[in-house]
A and B are shown apart, each in its own frame.
Chain A
C-alpha cells in the first residue's frame, strides 16, 4: 500500500520522533509513505473566515499533488490533518472557494476535493487494521497503563473531521490495546491543552494542562500519548503540579513492533 505523505514543518524539526517512528512502523506494516516532493507549511490553524483564500492554498497544493499521483494523502501532525481535511471539505462543498482557488492556481484540471485525507491513526484502524497490528507486535507493552490524549484538532468539528465519536472516542484506546497495553480513559482527553495561547498566556495553558495530567494520574495512568506536537509541548513543558511521561503514539508503536 502506497500513500502520499505530508509531514509538515514541526515534524522536520521539534517533533522528529513523531515522524521517524511512524516511518519505521509503516515499513513493518507494509505501508509505503511517499513524502510529497514539494510541500509548504499548512499554516497550522484552519482559516475560518469565508474570505480567506490565500491562507488555504498550501493545503490545496498538497491535495492536488496527491491527486496527480492517484494516492490518498497521509497526515500525522494533528494540526496539519485538521487544516488539510477542512480545506479539502471546502473544496468539495464551497463553490465560491472552488472557483477562486482554481482561478488562481490554473491547474490542468480543476481541483474539487478528489483526494482522500487519511490520518496515520485512521490508516492503522481502517487500512491496516488493529488485529493485523496485534499479529505484528513482537514486544507487547504488557501491563502498561496508558492514557490517550486526543486534544481538539483530530475530533472537531466532527461533521467535517469524521475521525471518531467527538465526545467518546475510542481509536486511540483501541490502538493502545493493539500494542498490548491497557488504556486508561480520562475525562479531559478531548479538552483543549491551551494550544497556541500558551505563547502569550502561559497561566491559561498551565491550568488546562494541570487538569489533564492530574485527572490521568488519578485514573492510574503511567504515561500519556498524543499525536500533536503542540499538545506534546504544553503537556510536557507547562505542567506545574505533576509530571507524567508524554510520548508520541508512534514511538510506542515502533517499540511494540520491535523497530525502535
Chain B
C-alpha cells in the first residue's frame, strides 16, 4: 500500500472515505455502472484501504461521465466522483500518461461534434 499516494488522492479530492456507510447508492445510480471494472462504491472502499494501483489501471477512470449523480444522491455526502477524478489526475499527471492524444482527434471528428465535447475530453483525459 502506497501511503503517500493515498494521502495525495484524499487531499486532492477532499473526500473523507470514513463517512461512507456502504449503502451502494452511488453505484446503484451510476449511468456508467455496466461499463466499469470498479464501481463508485469500490473507489471509496479501495482508496480507504490504500489499494490505489488497481484503480489507476482500471478502465473506470475513463468511463466516469462526471454526471455528479453519485455526488448528488449520496446520503452521506461522500462525493465518489471527486475520488475518481483524483485517481484519474494521478494517472495523467505522470509523464507520457495522457489517455487522449491530440493526434487522435482528427480521426474522431464528426460534422456535428461540438467543441464542448473535445475540450471536455481533453480536460478529463490529458494534461
Contact = CB atoms under 8 A, between A and B. Distances in A.
Interface in B71-90: 71-72, 81-82, 85-86, 89
Contact of A152 (B62, B67, B86): B67
Interface string A2-20: 0000001110011100000
A43 B69 contact: no
A200 to B, nearest CB: 7
Interface string A59-85: 000000000000000000101000000
Contacts, number: 125
B46 interface: no
Given A44-B123, A156-B72, A166-B72, A232 B35 contact: no
| Residue of B14, B62, B116, B125 with highest tally of chain A CB at under 10 A | B116
Interface in A200-231: 200-201, 204, 207-208, 228-230
Contacts of B120: 44-45, 79, 195-196, 230
A14 B117 CA distance: 11
B112 A14 contact: yes
A233 B114 CA distance: 7
A55 B123 contact: yes
A196 B14 contact: no
Interface string A125-158: 0000000000000000000000000001001111
Interface in A212-260: 228-230, 232-233, 236-237
Contacts of B100: 199-200
Interface in B44-86: 62-63, 65-69, 71-72, 81-82, 85-86
A230 B110 contact: no
B121 A196 contact: yes
A207 B32 CA distance: 10
A23 to B, nearest CB: 19
B33 to A, nearest CB: 11
Interface stretch (A31-39, A46-54, A110-118): A46-54
Given A48-B13, A199-B121, A229 B89 contact: no
| Residue of A44, A194, A197, A232 with highest tally of chain B CB at under 10 A | A197
B119 interface: yes
Contacts of A228: 116
Contacts of B72: 155-158, 166
Nearest to A232: B114
Given A166-B72, A191-B69, A237-B113, 18 more contacts: A9-B116, A10-B114, A45-B123, A45-B124, A49-B85, A50-B12, A51-B11, A152-B67, A152-B68, A157-B71, A192-B65, A197-B62, A197-B65, A204-B35, A230-B120, A233-B112, A233-B114, A237-B110
Interface of B: 11-14, 31-32, 34-35, 62-63, 65-69, 71-72, 81-82, 85-86, 89, 100, 108, 110, 112-121, 123-125
Per CB-CB distance, the 5 closest pairs between chain A and chain B, nearest first, are A196-B120, A192-B67, A156-B68, A44-B119, A152-B67
18 contacts: A14-B112, A43-B123, A48-B13, A48-B82, A49-B12, A49-B85, A49-B86, A49-B89, A152-B66, A157-B68, A191-B67, A191-B69, A192-B69, A195-B66, A196-B124, A197-B65, A200-B125, A236-B112
